[in-house]
C-alpha cells in the first residue's frame, strides 16, 4: 500500500486548488492556505482536506498548518518572492524532504536553483507541450 502524506499547499488558486483535489484523490491529507477566502471556492469536489485563511508570508499560518509534520510543501502562490520564502522556510528551517515551488517568471529560475529549490514553471511546461504538438503537425503535413 502506498504511504499517505501530509501535504501543505501555499496558494489555492488555479494551480493549488487543482493539485489539492488530485492529492486528496490519491489519499493524501492536504491543507491549503490562501489569503483570499473566496479562493477556496475553486477547490474541486474531490478535496477532503482543510483550509486556512491567511497570508503565507506570516509564519504563524505555516505553524498553524503544522508545517513541522509535513511530508511535502508546495509553494504555489502567484508571487515568486512569497514562494521563494515559503520554500526556504520549509527546506532550511523545517527540513521538509519534498519542497516544490512554482516560478511565475522564468527569469527567476536561476535564483531558485542556486538555493536548490525544486521548481515548476507553468509557462515553460506549456511551451514544451506546444512545441511537441507543433512538431507533430509539421510531420503530419509532410
Q: Which residues bind ligand AMP (CB under 6 A)?
A: 11-16, 33-36, 39, 55-57, 77-79, 82
Closest to ligand AMP by CB, 28 vs 35, is: 35
Q: How far is the CB of 30 from ligand AMP (least distance, A)?
A: 15
What is the C-alpha to C-alpha distance for residues 40 and 116, in angstroms, rounded to an integer? 30
Q: How far is the CB of 38 from ligand AMP (least distance, A)?
A: 8
Q: Which three cell numbers stand for residue 79?
A: 508571487
Using CB positions, name the residue nearest to ligand AMP: 13
Closest to ligand AMP by CB, 39 vs 72, is: 39
Closest to ligand AMP by CB, 4 vs 78, is: 78
Q: How far is the CB of 24 from ligand AMP (least distance, A)?
A: 17
Q: How far is the CB of 114 from ligand AMP (least distance, A)?
A: 22
Segments of the chain assigned E as strands: 6-10, 29-34, 50-53, 72-75, 98-102, 118-120
Paired strand residues for 98: 72
Element (H, E) at 12: none
Q: Counting beta carbons within 10 angstroms of the beta carbon of residue 54, is it exposed (0 to 12), middle (13 to 18) or buried (19 or more)?
A: middle
What is the C-alpha to C-alpha distance for residues 33 and 9, in angstroms, rounded to an integer? 6
Closest to ligand AMP by CB, 20 vs 72, is: 20
Amino acid at each position: 500500500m502506498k504511504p499517505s502524506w501530509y501535504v501543505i499547499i501555499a496558494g489555492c488558486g488555479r494551480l493549488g486548488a487543482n493539485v489539492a483535489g488530485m492529492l486528496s484523490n490519491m489519499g493524501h491529507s492536504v491543507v491549503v492556505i490562501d489569503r483570499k477566502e473566496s479562493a477556496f471556492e475553486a477547490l474541486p469536489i474531490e478535496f477532503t482536506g482543510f483550509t486556512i485563511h491567511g497570508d503565507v508570508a506570516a509564519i504563524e499560518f505555516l505553524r498553524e498548518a503544522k508545517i513541522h509534520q509535513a511530508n511535502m510543501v508546495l509553494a504555489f502562490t502567484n508571487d515568486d518572492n512569497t514562494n521563494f520564502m515559503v520554500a526556504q522556510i520549509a527546506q532550511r528551517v523545517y527540513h521538509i524532504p519534498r519542497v516544490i515551488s512554482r516560478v511565475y517568471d522564468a527569469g527567476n529560475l536561476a535564483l531558485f536553483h542556486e538555493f536548490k529549490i525544486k521548481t515548476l514553471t507553468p509557462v515553460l511546461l506549456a511551451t514544451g507541450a506546444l512545441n511537441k504538438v507543433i512538431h507533430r503537425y509539421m510531420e503530419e503535413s509532410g
